């Protein structure tokens, strides 16, 4: 963590800016200032422009209120939800929390900036606080802050920061305590115990009281706000019989009753959820807690001690901070002190809702000086080698000439070798042309012997012609095997594909029909008998092994004037035993 931090608390009704430094484990408040926000609270969209105007005024008041800053966002601007998940190892916990976030955040996670903080773990269940806002709102907020002169480095929800401030003040003394932070729009209740913390936010704040005064007096909200502040701050004196006094006192009592009811309900919810003891004390903070008589009322209603939480007791005060100013604003600085506690307590809780795009940009900006330095070092790295390089240039040139001469000699030898290789290839092709004849030099004798047996078995059959048909199928043209390269690393070079040869025998012959009358050869029963004899001949041809692969159907020609039938066969020869 840096030793200096600018923290800006963006409340619903005011904005506070504080500069902190840390040294030797001590946190020092260097500068502090606040501005009230004036806008129509009924219009949600009016808050951001009013906040921007307050920040512009603060930045004009001091040069320290510019640059990198952590912004604390009010709870009503965010989705804050406590959940419970099973106790699992850290590696799986993030996945479970992400799953629960998807089910509990009412808009797609792709449109949200969200984060989580483990607030308690009893070994069985883990209590987690989810915080989220729409990415569009976060980007708009950061863009507006940039135009004012700020660079947001973190967007923190205010809900966890009272706990950080309490730990900074009280250290390890975590007595069961309820911190009640009464803001303008809502009240944040933080239950602190040795086992962890429990947070509940209720929609009851200073604006609620103002609206009650406005309803009772029939005045506009802004007029009622001024009347309330004047009366309870003592800035304006009111006579006892002033007609405004009675409604103000009555509404104050109503507000304290409603607040006490919310505190009671929250304590019940806290005890049911955690099985822990009720708080032994209540600490008040926030501008709404300055209502006269509130500590006494809550103490009597809750039967516990009630006091104000003053986080300034843990701070060193710089020369630029007036002690009187700090005493008058201590009830407004619990959140900024809680965030600044990271300077001395890095384990402090928090959820950064800064959009990922802005985080990545800031990370790059932080790395830019190192990248520039690395680039400069890389550019200068060759410098020590330059002198040696130039001193070796003449030597290398002479060696290059020598190698050129040797290369010319090797190129001549390579050409001679290639010529011999081409001649060897031609010779090999010529040998291959006669290889089939050589391989089949005895096959014809065996084939004719079996062919003769087939014809004798049928009787009255003779062959008129026998024609050998050889068909050579050439392979696709590929690169020469001596120059081909493997298609993949470690793969051997593919050998060239050899040409394939198919063999066929076209047989033509005749068959004698033993009939006295040649016209009988045209009768169906005679033709059928002839076809049967030829089918038998086909079967005998198929038995000429291992030479015959298949026999195509015979073509038959019956003559009308003689008792002779002409036929032709096409015999496909087995390429493994060519003729």
Give dist(CA 335, CA 340) in Å, integer: 9
Q: Picking from 11-25, 37-51, 418-432, which range would have the lowest pLDDT averaged per residue? A: 418-432
Can you read off the two tokens belonging to residue 413?
């030898």
Where does the pLDDT of residue 259 fall: very low under 50, low under 70, confident under 90, or very high at 90 and above? very high
Q: Are residues 86 and 166 in the same domain?
A: yes
Tell me which of 440 and 143 has the higher pLDDT.
143
How much is the average pLDDT of 301-326?
Answer: 91
Q: What is the mean pLDDT of residues 17-38?
A: 92
Stronger pLDDT, 15 or 382, i.e. the higher one: 15
- Contact call for residues 139 and 166 (beta carbons, < 8 A): no
Residue 533: domain span: 443-477+496-573
**Averaged pLDDT, 496-506:** 76
Poorest-pLDDT segment among 325-339, 433-447, 524-538? 433-447
Residues 10 and 80 in one domain: yes
Report the CATH number that the domain containing residue 533 is assigned in CATH. Answer: 3.30.980.50
370 contact partners, CB below 8 Å, separation of at least 6:
none
Cite the DSSP H helix spans in 234-355: 245-274, 294-302, 323-329, 334-340
pLDDT digits (tens, 9 = 90+) for 188-219: 999 998 878 889 989 999 999 888 988 888 88
Q: What are the residue ranges of helices labelled H in 107-192?
A: 135-148, 161-170
The verdict on residue 485 lying in a domain is no
Residues 570 and 545 sit within 8 Å (Cβ to Cβ): no
Q: Are residues 433 and 341 in the same domain?
A: no
At residue 497, the pLDDT reads 60
Whether 317 is in a domain gets the answer: yes
Residues 467 and 546 in one domain: yes
- Report the percentage of the chain scoring pLDDT > 70: 91
Q: 340 and 406 in one domain?
A: no
Residue 489, domain member (yes or no) = no
DSSP assignment of 178-225 equals EEEEE-SS-EEEEEEETTEEEEEEES--HHHHHHHHHHHHT--HHHHH
Task: Tell me which of 216 and 521 has the higher pLDDT.
Answer: 216
Mean pLDDT of 135-143: 93
Same domain for 355 and 416, yes or no, is no
pLDDT of 483 reads 46
The number of domains in the chain is: 3
Answer yes or no: is pLDDT of 464 > 80: yes
Q: Quote the percentage of the chain above a pLDDT of 90.
A: 36
25, 162, 351, 558 from 311: Cα distances, Å:
16, 9, 21, 124
**For residues 139-148, average pLDDT:** 94
Query: Residue 488 domain-assigned?
Result: no
Q: Kindly state whether residue 389 falls inside one of the protein's structural domains.
A: no
Q: Which helix (H) or strand (E) holds 284?
A: strand 281-285
My answer on whether 314 and 458 are in the same domain is no
Closest CA to 338 of 154, 76, 476, 570: 154
Contacting residues for 103 by C-beta, under 8 A, at least 6 apart: none
Residues 273 and 289 in one domain: yes
Residue 484 has pLDDT above 60, yes or no: no
Residue 385 lies in a domain: no
Residue pLDDT, tens place only, 334-363: 999 999 999 998 889 999 999 988 888 877
Q: Are residues 468 and 456 in the same domain?
A: yes
Q: What is the pLDDT of residue 341?
A: 93
Per the model's pLDDT, the better-predicted residue between 149 and 501 turns out to be: 149
pLDDT category at 146 given cuts 50, 70, 90 is: very high
CA distances from 257 to 203, 263, 293, 300 (A): 14, 10, 12, 11
Name the band, by pLDDT with cuts 50, 70 and 90, for residue 236. low
Q: Which of 395-399, 410-414, 520-524, 549-553 has the lowest mean pLDDT?
A: 520-524
Do residues 237 and 272 share a domain? yes
- Residues 70 and 171 reside in one and the same domain: yes
Cα-based distances in Å from 210 to 156, 256, 257: 28, 13, 15
**pLDDT, average across residues 481-509:** 65
Q: Give dist(CA 197, CA 165) in Å, integer.
A: 13
Which has more confidence, 440 or 389? 389
Domain match, 194 and 297 both: yes
Confidence tier at 490 by pLDDT (50, 70, 90) = low
**370: burial class by Cβ within 10 Å (0-12, 13-18, 19+)?**
exposed
The pLDDT score that the predictor gives to residue 237 is 65
Residue 180 maps to a domain? yes
Indicate whether 65 belongs to any domain. yes
Output the pTM of the full model.
Answer: 0.63
pLDDT bucket at 120, cuts 50 / 70 / 90: confident
């Amino acid at each position: 963590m840096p030793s200096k931090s600018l923290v800006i608390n963006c409340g619903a009704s005011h904005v506070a800016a504080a500069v902190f430094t840390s040294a030797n484990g001590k946190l020092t408040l260097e500068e502090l200032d606040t501005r009230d926000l004036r806008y129509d609270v009924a219009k949600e969209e009016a808050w951001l422009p009013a906040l921007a105007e307050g920040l512009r005024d603060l930045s004009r008041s001091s040069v320290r209120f510019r640059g990198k800053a952590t912004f604390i966002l009010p709870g009503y601007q965010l989705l804050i939800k406590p959940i419970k998940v099973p106790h699992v190892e850290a590696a799986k916990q993030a996945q479970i929390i992400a799953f629960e976030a998807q089910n509990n955040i009412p808009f797609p996670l792709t449109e949200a900036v969200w984060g989580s903080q483990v607030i308690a773990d009893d070994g069985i269940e883990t209590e987690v606080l989810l915080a989220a806002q729409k990415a569009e709102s976060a980007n708009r907020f950061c863009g507006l802050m940039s135009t004012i002169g700020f660079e947001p480095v973190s967007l923190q929800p205010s809900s966890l920061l009272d706990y950080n401030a309490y730990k900074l003040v009280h250290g390890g003394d975590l007595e069961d305590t309820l911190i009640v932070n009464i803001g303008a729009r809502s009240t944040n209740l933080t239950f602190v115990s040795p086992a962890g913390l429990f947070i509940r936010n209720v929609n009851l704040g200073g604006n609620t009281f103002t609206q009650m005064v406005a309803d009772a007096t029939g005045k506009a909200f802004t007029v009622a706000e001024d009347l309330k502040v004047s009366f309870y701050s003592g800035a304006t004196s009111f006579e006892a019989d002033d007609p405004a006094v009675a409604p103000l006192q009555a509404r104050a009592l109503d507000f304290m009753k409603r607040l006490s009811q919310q505190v009671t309900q929250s304590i019940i919810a806290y005890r049911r959820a955690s099985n822990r003891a009720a708080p032994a004390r209540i600490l008040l903070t926030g501008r709404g807690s300055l209502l006269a008589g509130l500590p006494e009322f809550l103490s009597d209603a809750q039967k516990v001690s009630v006091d104000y939480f003053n986080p300034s007791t843990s701070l060193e005060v710089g020369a630029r901070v007036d002690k009187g100013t700090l005493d008058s604003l201590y009830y407004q600085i619990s959140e900024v002190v809680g965030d600044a506690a990271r300077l001395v307590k890095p384990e402090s809780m928090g959820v950064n809702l800064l959009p990922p795009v802005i985080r990545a940009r800031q990370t790059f900006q932080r790395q830019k000086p190192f990248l520039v330095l690395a680039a400069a070092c890389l550019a200068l790295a060759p410098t020590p080698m330059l002198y040696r390089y130039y001193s070796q240039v003449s030597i290398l040139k002479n060696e290059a000439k020598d190698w050129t001469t040797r290369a010319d000699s090797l190129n001549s030898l390579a050409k001679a070798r290639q010529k011999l290789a081409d001649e060897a290839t031609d010779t090999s092709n010529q040998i291959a042309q006669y290889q089939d004849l050589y391989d089949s030099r005895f096959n014809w004798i065996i084939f004719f012997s079996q062919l003769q047996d087939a014809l004798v078995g049928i009787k009255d059959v003779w062959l008129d012609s026998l024609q050998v048909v050889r068909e050579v199928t050439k392979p696709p043209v590929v690169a020469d095997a001596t120059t081909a390269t493997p298609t993949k690393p470690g793969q051997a070079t593919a050998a060239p594909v050899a040409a394939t040869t198919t063999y066929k025998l076209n047989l033509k012959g005749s068959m004698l029909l033993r009939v006295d009358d040649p016209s009988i050869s045209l009768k169906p029963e005679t033709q059928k008998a002839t076809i049967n004899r030829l089918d038998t001949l086909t079967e005998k041809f198929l038995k000429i092994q291992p030479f015959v692969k298949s026999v195509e159907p015979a073509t038959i020609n019956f003559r009308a004037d003689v008792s002779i039938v002409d036929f032709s066969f096409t015999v496909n020869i087995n390429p493994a035993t060519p003729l």
